[in-house]
Amino acid sequence: MTDTPTLGLAAYQGAHAKQRGGPAARSQGRAILRPLRRLLARWRARDRFHSELEQKLRGDPHLIDDVGLSRRQVQDELDRPFWQVL
């Protein structure tokens, strides 16, 4: 026999369950991440918009004129980072 204390299986499972957290802790974690997910989705949408706008400017510049934008306005939009809002 050794003098080293050992943890029983029940004590280990109890400690492990506390680390994971219950449903309330997981729900709170999701609530914290929700705004971050929304922000990333907006950034992806703006990045796609910039890509599509650039393709239209290069491929079909007359489409830019059709929607009432000047080439300068489009270039200003493309020069701005996707995370920056007007």
Q: What is the pLDDT of residue 29?
A: 80
Residue 85 has pLDDT above 90, yes or no: no
What average pLDDT does the segment 17-34 reach? 74
CA 47/CA 53 separation, integer angstroms: 10
Residue 82 has pLDDT above 80, yes or no: yes
**Of residues 60 and 16, more confidently modeled:** 60
By the 10 Å C-beta count (0-12 exposed, 13-18 middle, 19+ buried), 44 is classed as exposed
pTM of the model: 0.60
Q: What is the pLDDT of residue 83?
A: 85
- Read off the pLDDT band of 33 (50, 70, 90): very high
